[in-house]
Amino acid sequence: MSEYIVELEGVGKSFAGIRALDDVSLNLKSGEVLALLGENGAGKSTLMKILGGIYTRDTGIIRVFGEEIDEMTPKRAKELGIAVIHQELNMCTHLTVAENIFLGRELLRSGMLDDREMNIRAAEVLSRLNIDIAPDTVVGTLPISKQQMVEIAKALSTNARILVMDEPTSALTSKEINDLFHIIRSLRDQGCGIIYISHRLEELQHIVDRVTILRDGKYIATTRFCDTTMAEIISNMVGREIKEKFPRVETPLGRTILRVKGLNAGRQVRNVSFELREGEIVGVAGLMGAGRTEMTRALFGADPKDGGEILLDERPLRIEKPMDAIEAGIVLVPEDRKKDGLCTKLSIRENVALPNLDILKGALSTVNSRGEREMVERTVKNLSIRLSNAEQNADSLSGGNQQKLVVGKWLAREFRVVLFDEPTRGIDVAAKAEIYHLMNDLKTRGLGVLFISSEMPEILGIADRIIVMCDGRVTGEFPAGTATQEKILECATRFEDKLGLAAGD
């Protein structure tokens, strides 16, 4: 038996004639954490779905614990001790924690479900992982980050020897990330092999032993993490050196466009005040749950406000519904583009036209289809959205192009202020760079850009001014030059009292 517990050799997979994986190899040793890196669409998830038996490979060899596996199914993978924690939460939200953990392998006593035993065992797993959740809590009543921890507990409860984690930290708070890393390290020390997929490269240094990089469905390189540098990893991922990671553009600051005074909306937005000037990108930093998304939603009129003043060009505005904001020239690019940003089952053309039907109004309130086509062509060209046909459904686009489409539908009309909520989440490095350029472009056109991001490097690299939120309040403000990660983090954890600090949520 070789030293590897998982060996994938020359794995290939096509979907409808398009090659998703081409001759990809990957090896995993016992007792190591292997980072599987690549841009979106590089084939990481496909490869892991093949390992987990969800997809079947077209070519190649899979060996697990030295044994060649002909046909991999989810069941077979489970028997072999492979557990995959998927990127999307996959919980039955109506069932309890214990019911989810034991789903598909329920414990029985004389033919009946043994809920007592399952609750006890689930409690053991949870306490072993230091997760403080009662096993008979209904999963849907837990916050997303806790649900993610349950998902992890579920995978670990199978006594898996090979763990695949696909972006496990995206929904977690920093404390939970620390807990998770602790768990990963102890599993590694127990001899498990862990394949770790993440876009958050800065996390890797805490846990990763080796790195395997894919690009465009092809195997690129495997190196020991300590023998490589971040720049090398990134250049391997994108196939080119990125010299200027964050393109900053200097523009003269104009007048104040947007002034927010004492905005209140529930507990998540409390007395928020800031201003935004022409030709300025203001970054909003903070931890998850700091109330940044809620702030943009209240500002945009998507959620009700309890109080506060909003002035646009020094004139007070009443925003009670999104239409008020849009008419005034404030637009929102929401965090969850699939849920809030696009009608994914409508075509790209229809998505671009949707908020602009007032402009495209023809005779008898019909949609002016020529104007619509021109608008779509203009948008696609301006933003270089990569598509084969504007009649495709919006969800056929890649993540980065979807994000551009969300922005693009607003660009077709006049506006003064754009609120970007996590615009680069879950998109690849090249698409991120395009979003940065787009923001810079808006800035040089004299618009105001509010840029929410949880990734400090990009906020530091792009924003002209940074405000930090914590617990629904603004806890700090820095010009770009003087801000550092440490300062931002210090403000972002400035909770109201010690109790909150201890929870770290």
Q: Which of 44, 57, 86, 161 binds another protein (CB under 8 A)?
A: 86
Closer residue to another protein, CB minimum distance, 141 or 384: 141
Q: Which of 80, 91, 342, 427 binds another protein (CB under 8 A)?
A: 91
Q: Judge whether 74 and 52 are in contact, CB under 8 Å.
A: yes
Print the binding letters for residues 387-416 with another protein: x by CB under 8 A, - otherwise.
------------------------------
Check binding of 505 to another protein (CB under 8 A).
yes
Distance in Å, CB of 225 to another protein, minimum: 30
Instruction: Report the C-alpha gap between 452 and 300 in whole angstroms.
Output: 14
CB environment 56-92: b (16+ within 10 A), e (fewer): ebeebebbbbeeebeebeeeebbebbbbbbbbeeebe
Beta carbons within 8 Å of 337's beta carbon, 6+ residues apart? 399, 402, 403, 406
Check binding of 136 to another protein (CB under 8 A).
yes
Distance in Å, CB of 423 to another protein, minimum: 26
Local structure of residue 51 (DSSP, 8 states): H
Helix (H, G, I), strand (E, B) or coil at 301: coil
Q: Judge whether 455 and 203 are in contact, CB under 8 Å.
A: no
Print the binding letters for residues 449-488 with another protein: x by CB under 8 A, - otherwise.
----------------------xx----------------
Distance in Å, CB of 329 to another protein, minimum: 31
Distance in Å, CB of 87 to another protein, minimum: 12
Helix (H, G, I), strand (E, B) or coil at 345: coil
Distance in Å, CB of 155 to another protein, minimum: 10
Check binding of 142 to another protein (CB under 8 A).
yes
Q: Which of 61, 95, 288, 346 binds another protein (CB under 8 A)?
A: 95
Instruction: Report the C-alpha gap between 402 and 395 in whole angstroms.
Output: 7
Check binding of 313 to another protein (CB under 8 A).
no
Taking the alpha carbons at both ends of the chain, their separation in whole angstroms is: 45
Q: Which of 14, 93, 190, 271 binds another protein (CB under 8 A)?
A: 93
Footprint of another protein on 143-202 (CB under 8 A):
143, 145-146, 154
Q: Which of 59, 66, 68, 134 binds another protein (CB under 8 A)?
A: 134
Distance in Å, CB of 143 to another protein, minimum: 6
Q: Which of 1, 18, 363, 499 binds another protein (CB under 8 A)?
A: 499
The site that binds another protein (CB under 8 A) totals a number of residues, namely 45
Ordered strands of the 465-470 beta sheet: 330-333, 417-421, 448-452, 280-286, 465-470, 473-479
Instruction: Report the C-alpha gap between 384 and 496 in whole angstroms.
Output: 45
Distance in Å, CB of 167 to another protein, minimum: 16
Instruction: Report the C-alpha gap between 470 and 491 in whole angstroms.
Output: 7
Closer residue to another protein, CB minimum distance, 114 or 313: 114
The sign of the dihedral angle between the CA atoms of 328, 334, 339, 341 is positive
Q: Work out the number of other CB atoms within 10 angstroms of the CB of residue 209.
A: 17
Q: Which of 9, 23, 54, 387 binds another protein (CB under 8 A)?
A: 54
Closer residue to another protein, CB minimum distance, 159 or 365: 159
Check binding of 112 to another protein (CB under 8 A).
yes
Check binding of 132 to another protein (CB under 8 A).
yes
Instruction: Report the C-alpha gap between 297 and 291 in whole angstroms.
Output: 10
Footprint of another protein on 362-381 (CB under 8 A):
none
Check binding of 3 to another protein (CB under 8 A).
no
Closer residue to another protein, CB minimum distance, 17 or 111: 111
* 67-69 vs 82-85, strand pairing mode: unpaired
Check binding of 108 to another protein (CB under 8 A).
yes
Footprint of another protein on 264-303 (CB under 8 A):
266-268
The tokens 């590694």 sit on which residue?
188
Distance in Å, CB of 464 to another protein, minimum: 31
Check binding of 444 to another protein (CB under 8 A).
no
Check binding of 75 to another protein (CB under 8 A).
yes
- Among the listed ranges 38-46, 90-98, 162-170, 376-384, the one in contact with another protein (CB under 8 A) is 90-98
The tokens 């998507």 sit on which residue?
302
The tokens 């201890």 sit on which residue?
502
Helix (H, G, I), strand (E, B) or coil at 251: coil
Instruction: Report the C-alpha gap between 505 and 503 in whole angstroms.
Output: 5
Element (H, E) at 107: none
Element (H, E) at 240: none
Q: Which of 7, 22, 32, 99 binds another protein (CB under 8 A)?
A: 99
- Among the listed ranges 138-146, 230-238, 361-369, 436-444, the one in contact with another protein (CB under 8 A) is 138-146
Q: Judge whether 66 and 2 are in contact, CB under 8 Å.
A: yes
Triad 271, 273, 275: Cα angle to 5°: 170
Element (H, E) at 309: strand 307-312
- Partners of residue 12 on adjacent β-strands: 59
What does the binding site for another protein look like in residue numbers (CB under 8 A)?
Answer: 54, 74-75, 78, 86, 90-96, 99-100, 103-106, 108, 111-113, 132-134, 136-138, 141-143, 145-146, 154, 266-268, 471-472, 496-497, 499-500, 503, 505
